[in-house]
């Protein structure tokens, strides 16, 4: 049965219009092969909808959220909180039936529009060098979630809870100059998690990167009769998986001015749970610092825990390289959504392939982690210098105002 896509109740023209246009003046689109479809990803990348609309239904993109409906004539489901990102005419003739292409993106696209400023003040506690921070990763993520615009949260007004409690604490984080959503994804990667967005419920969750996706095997079994194509490529890319993680921790003395205090970095090797070839490894310079002593660093427990949390993320990345798969099913099946073992789900109405659902599990081995901030080491850094009348003053992170120079008026 034919699939109908709707935007706020307005039917989207069939994708057959891309193959058999109403006139000869159709400009080729960058995304013409994706019309009509909805692409749902896990992680940082916002989901995309590529749809046809009539001129009379275009309206003004703005920032107002739209609802996409997918209807197969028997049942339907809604995708809430999608935002118009790009609209362009694909026919030169102008009339109420002129076709337009519209791309919409899910709430993550709004989270990319606000940027972090002065992350040092946001995460002051992570910069106190006491051997180990008392700031949890959940606390860091809750703070970042509070920085998101309301529209970027979908139906998750409060910050999701981490699927498992990380072993390590957060130290020396620097998110300046990046978007709030990017910062959230970096923090999740640092503690063994990945962001998952459910387009059916418009809710977020923080999944364990190498975890097992609940119900997935049952969905594969229940929909086996609808399977149209199986990529059958589980071993391609195996060499991109990693057997070990080497976490590198710079010594805290590297933050001093004395050249003689420099010492080699401390390293910790942890086995990843992926199926990487023997001897392969991913080396990571972490934000935590080692506090050197005659034998092991005095904060060895924190460094061991940091390496263990990083290994969870690398294991998840490795698995997505080594055990990748892609399957296509007839019709639109909303049982499948991105998660621990699904990286992308596509619902499509295509002029040649017909209506289908594509479920894939593959990601490039890219690790995106926070960059190091500067440890305070019990100091109170200057955050502003300003004139107060004739006096030159400075403000410290704690809020203390100090006079640098006292000016006098010339007679």
Domains and CATH numbers, the chain: 1-106+211-231+325-361 (2.30.300), 238-319 (no CATH), 380-411 (no CATH)
CA distance 320 to 238: 10
pLDDT tens for 245-292 read 999 998 886 655 555 556 788 999 998 876 667 778 889 999 999 988
DSSP-derived pairing of the beta strands 281-285 and 244-249: parallel
pLDDT for the residue 300: 93
pLDDT for the residue 353: 87
pLDDT for the residue 197: 98
pLDDT for the residue 326: 93
Strands, E, within 217-264: which ranges? 227-230, 244-249
pLDDT for the residue 376: 60
For the chain, 411 residues long, the average pLDDT of each consecutive 10-residue run is: 86 83 56 89 97 80 82 91 89 80 95 93 82 86 97 97 96 94 98 98 97 96 96 59 89 62 84 74 92 85 96 91 88 96 96 92 90 65 75 76 76 53
> For residue 221, what is the DSSP state?
H
Return the ∠ at Cα 11 (arms to 5 and 17), rounded to 5°: 80
Give residues with Cβ within 8 angstroms of 266, minimum separation 6: 248, 249, 251, 290, 292, 297, 303
DSSP 119-188: HHHHTGGGG--SSS----HHHHHHHHHHHS-GGGGTT--SPPPBSS--SS---SEE-TTSBHHHHHHHHH
pTM: 0.87
Q: Do 121 and 397 meet the contact criterion of CB atoms below 8 Å apart?
A: yes
Contacts 24+ apart (CB under 8 A), 133-137: 133/169, 133/170, 133/171, 133/302, 134/169, 135/169, 135/170, 135/171, 136/166, 136/169, 136/170, 137/162, 137/166, 137/168, 137/169, 137/170, 137/187, 137/190, 137/191
Q: Give, in order, the Cα–Cα distances in Å from 204 to each of 107, 142, 274.
A: 10, 13, 26
CA distance 370 to 368: 7
DSSP 293-320: -SSS-TTHHHHHHHHHHHHHHHHHHHHH
pLDDT tens for 172-199 read 999 999 999 999 999 999 999 999 999 9
Give residues with Cβ within 8 angstroms of 331, minimum separation 6: 3, 72, 226, 355, 356, 357
Q: Please name which of 38, 9, 105 lies closest in space to residue 332, comparing C-alpha atoms.
A: 38
CA distance 29 to 89: 10
């Amino acid at each position: 049965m034919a699939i109908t896509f709707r935007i706020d109740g307005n039917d989207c023209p069939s994708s057959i219009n891309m193959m058999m246009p109403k006139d000869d003046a159709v400009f080729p689109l960058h995304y013409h092969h994706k019309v009509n479809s909805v692409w749902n990803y896990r992680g940082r990348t916002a989901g995309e909808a590529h749809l046809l609309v009539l001129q009379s239904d275009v309206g003004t993109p703005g920032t107002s959220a739209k609802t996409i409906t997918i209807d197969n004539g028997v049942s339907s489901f809604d995708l809430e909180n999608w935002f118009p990102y790009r609209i362009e005419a694909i026919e030169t003739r102008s009339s109420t039936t002129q076709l337009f292409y519209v791309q919409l993106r899910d709430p993550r696209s709004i989270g990319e529009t606000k940027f972090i400023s002065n992350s040092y003040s946001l995460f002051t506690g992570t910069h106190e060098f006491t051997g180990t921070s008392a700031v949890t990763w959940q606390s860091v993520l809750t703070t970042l979630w509070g920085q998101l615009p309301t529209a970027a949260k979908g139906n998750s007004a409060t910050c999701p809870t981490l699927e498992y409690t990380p072993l390590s604490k957060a130290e020396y984080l620097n998110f300046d100059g990046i978007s709030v959503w990017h910062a959230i994804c970096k923090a999740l990667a640092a503690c063994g998690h990945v962001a998952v967005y459910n387009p059916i419920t418009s809710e977020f969750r923080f999944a364990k990167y190498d975890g097992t996706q609940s119900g997935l095997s049952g969905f594969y079994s229940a929909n086996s009769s609808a399977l149209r194509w199986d990529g059958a490529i589980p071993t391609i890319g195996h060499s991109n998986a990693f057997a070990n993680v080497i976490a590198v921790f710079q010594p805290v003395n590297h933050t001093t001015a004395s050249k003689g205090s420099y010492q080699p970095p401390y390293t910790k090797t942890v086995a990843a749970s992926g199926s990487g070839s023997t001897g392969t490894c991913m080396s990571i310079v972490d934000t935590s610092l080692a506090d050197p002593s005659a034998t092991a660093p005095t904060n060895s427990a924190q460094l061991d825990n940091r390496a263990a949390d990083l290994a969870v993320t690398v294991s998840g990345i490795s698995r997505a390289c080594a055990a990748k798969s892609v399957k296509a099913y007839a019709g639109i099946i909303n049982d499948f959504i991105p998660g621990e073992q699904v990286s992308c789900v596509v619902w499509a109405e295509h002029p040649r392939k017909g209506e289908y659902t594509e479920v894939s599990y593959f990601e490039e081995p890219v690790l995106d982690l926070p960059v190091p901030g500067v440890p305070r080491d019990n100091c109170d850094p200057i955050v502003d210098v300003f004139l107060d009348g004739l006096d030159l003053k400075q403000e410290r992170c704690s809020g203390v105002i100090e006079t640098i120079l006292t000016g006098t008026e010339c007679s």
